[in-house]
């Protein structure tokens, strides 16, 4: 029995530990996001708005390719919580890593033609093709690291999970400090090469670690892979629209406005990372917890109660950001980015709604309806694309921010109400199903 299998069942999510686990992950993810924000500030200040706009396009593509395959890890967590033997767990773990490696290699192979296709056809800016290609390669390499994080997440070793979240951004930060403060290089190409080199090292180290946890990596079990794909396809499709959503604004903006305008808007987008710090850590803790929730009233109530405090913390962060937005933009990025202040404030309004809804969204997996969440996220994507195409050319950065906030608010309200109705229906059906036979039809 390997180390992963023998340890995976030792820990169980306990309600009293939820806050402790949340704070542990918040520390790790929070540190990672703060360092990532610092990295973006360095690039924005040293390279200027136009070159920062170029970097923003590269960064958006990288994050998309990095995070979308996380659906495989989410599927693994789902099956991990449902297995009763360590052998079955090991089989699912091996299949998860195999699929992740296939994804990584596939993205790297298509990165060059895809970069030119998007640059020429969608963005209509051929000079950005190399940025898109490098972004795809970096994201694919970093997706391997997500599997290492899920290794610790399922074991509920949230301290190790937190360390994994900060490893990459901290390494990049050291490289940027050397590049900008020790050398006189102010070229966007060197920044992209730095990200690519570090992504390659992190990806190779992560793959070596993963292979060390799987003694028979070459064994392929079609049944298990079929189970993962059958359930995971909806999570994968959901991940595409869910993680593409906060980046689609930058892509559409690149299509209709200048690269310099993208640089200004990216400042507003990056400052909302303070919100994604806490929502990201909320997801890490409450996703596996949601997988263990039953339809019993006490179990569901406990889940909601545990989510109240973290969500309250998120709302406090949003209010503070809304109030201090002008001062924050000027101090952190400089007075040349004041055009980002109003878009930032508009974006934060949408985050209020989506943050409240986030813990409820995981319950679609609890009741085995991942396809419903996909259709909801796809609907949100359709709404925002329609709005972006209409409002971005009309009102520039302001129109982009308004489109995002309207889509976030409408999706959160509709999806939140729907999951509550579905849960209520499931509980009523469950009670009816388990009525004792000798009581049916009896009168007092």
415/369 Cα distance (integer angstroms): 13
Give per-10-residue mean pLDDT for the chain (444 aa). 41 47 63 85 91 93 85 72 62 84 93 95 92 96 83 64 75 93 88 95 89 80 80 74 81 90 92 74 70 68 81 88 92 91 95 88 80 86 94 94 95 90 72 42 37
Q: How many domains does the chain have?
A: 1
293/302 Cα distance (integer angstroms): 9
323/301 Cα distance (integer angstroms): 33
Beta strands in 179-305 (DSSP E): none
The model's pTM is 0.74
State the Cα torsion 356-357-358-364 to the nearest 10°: 150
Question: pLDDT, tens digit, for every residue of 374-415?
Answer: 888 889 999 999 999 999 999 999 999 999 999 999 999 998
The whole-number pLDDT of residue 80 equals: 64
Question: If you ran DSSP here, which 8-state letter would residue 219 be given?
Answer: -
CB 251 within 8 A of CB 392: no
User: Which residue shows structure tokens 């599927």?
Assistant: 75
Helices marked H in 81-119 — which ranges? 86-117
242/362 Cα distance (integer angstroms): 13
- Any residues with CB less than 8 A from the CB of 234 and at least 6 apart, and which? 370, 371, 373, 374
CB 46 within 8 A of CB 185: no
Count of helix runs (H) and strand runs (E) in the chain: 14, 0
Supply the angle between the helices 18-67 and 188-212 in degrees, to the nearest 10. 120
Decide if 199 is inside a domain: yes
The whole-number pLDDT of residue 215 equals: 73
Decide if 433 is inside a domain: no
- Any residues with CB less than 8 A from the CB of 298 and at least 6 apart, and which? none
Decide if 63 is inside a domain: yes
96/173 Cα distance (integer angstroms): 30
Length of the chain counted residue by residue = 444
232/70 Cα distance (integer angstroms): 10
Instruction: List the structure tokens of 221.
Output: 């079990």
Question: If you ran DSSP here, which 8-state letter would residue 14 be given?
Answer: -
The whole-number pLDDT of residue 162 equals: 64
Decide if 195 is inside a domain: yes
The whole-number pLDDT of residue 444 equals: 36
- Residue span of the structural domain in which 239 resides: 3-428
Instruction: List the structure tokens of 158.
Output: 């949230």
With vertex at residue 265, the alpha carbon angle to CA 196 and CA 351, rounded to the nearest 5 degrees, is 100
CB 282 within 8 A of CB 310: yes
CB 111 within 8 A of CB 137: yes
CB 57 within 8 A of CB 131: yes
Buried-state track 384-417, b at ≥16 Cβ within 10 A, e below 16? bbebbeebbeeebbbbbbbbbbbbbbbbbeebbe
Decide if 439 is inside a domain: no
User: Which residue shows structure tokens 């989510």?
Assistant: 307
The whole-number pLDDT of residue 443 equals: 35
Decide if 123 is inside a domain: yes
Decide if 434 is inside a domain: no
Question: pLDDT, tens digit, for every residue of 20-50?
Answer: 555 666 666 677 778 888 999 999 999 988 8
The sign of the dihedral angle between the CA atoms of 241, 242, 244, 246 is: positive
The whole-number pLDDT of residue 23 equals: 62
């Amino acid at each position: 029995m390997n180390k992963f299998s023998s340890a995976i069942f030792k820990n169980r999510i306990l309600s009293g530990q939820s806050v402790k686990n949340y704070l542990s992950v918040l520390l790790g993810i929070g540190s990672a996001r703060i360092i990532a924000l610092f990295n973006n500030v360095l690039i924005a200040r040293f390279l200027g708005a136009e070159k920062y706009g170029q970097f923003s396009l590269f960064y958006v593509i990288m994050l998309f390719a990095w995070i979308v395959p996380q659906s495989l890890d989410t599927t693994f967590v789902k099956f991990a919580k449902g297995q009763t033997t360590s052998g079955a767990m090991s089989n699912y773990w091996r299949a998860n890593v195999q699929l992740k490696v296939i994804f990584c290699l596939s993205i790297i192979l298509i990165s060059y033609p895809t970069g030119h296709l998007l640059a020429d056809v969608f963005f209509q800016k051929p000079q950005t093709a190399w940025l898109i290609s490098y972004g795809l390669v970096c994201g694919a390499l970093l997706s391997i690291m997500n599997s290492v994080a899920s290794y610790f997440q399922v074991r509920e070793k949230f301290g190790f999970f937190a360390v994994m979240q900060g490893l990459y951004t901290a390494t990049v930060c050291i490289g940027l400090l050397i590049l900008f403060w020790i050398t006189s290089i102010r070229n966007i190409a060197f920044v992209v090469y730095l990200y690519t080199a570090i992504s390659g090292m992190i990806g190779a180290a992560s793959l070596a670690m993963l292979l060390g946890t799987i003694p028979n990596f070459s064994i392929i079990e079609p049944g298990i892979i079929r189970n993962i794909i059958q359930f995971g396809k909806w999570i994968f499709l959901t991940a595409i629209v869910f993680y593409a959503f906060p980046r689609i604004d930058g892509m559409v903006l690149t299509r209709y406005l200048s690269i310099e305008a993208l640089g200004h808007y990216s400042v507003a987008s990056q400052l909302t990372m303070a919100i994604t710090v806490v929502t990201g850590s909320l997801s890490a803790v409450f996703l596996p917890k949601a997988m263990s929730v039953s339809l019993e009233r006490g179990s569901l109530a406990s889940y909601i109660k545990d989510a109240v405090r973290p969500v309250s913390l998120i709302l406090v962060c949003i209010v503070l950001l809304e109030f201090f937005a002008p001062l924050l933009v000027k101090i952190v990025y400089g007075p040349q980015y004041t055009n980002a202040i109003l878009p930032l404030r508009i974006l934060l309004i949408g985050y209020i709604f989506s943050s409240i809804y986030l813990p409820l969204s995981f319950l679609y997996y609890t009741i085995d309806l991942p396809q419903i969440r996909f259709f909801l996220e796809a609907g949100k994507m359709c709404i925002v694309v329609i709005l972006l195409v209409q409002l971005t050319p009309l009102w520039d950065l302001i129109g982009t921010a308004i489109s995002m906030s309207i889509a976030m608010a409408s999706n959160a309200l509709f999806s939140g109400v729907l999951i509550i109705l579905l849960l209520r229906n499931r509980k009523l059906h469950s009670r009816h199903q388990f009525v004792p036979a000798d009581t049916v039809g009896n009168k007092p």
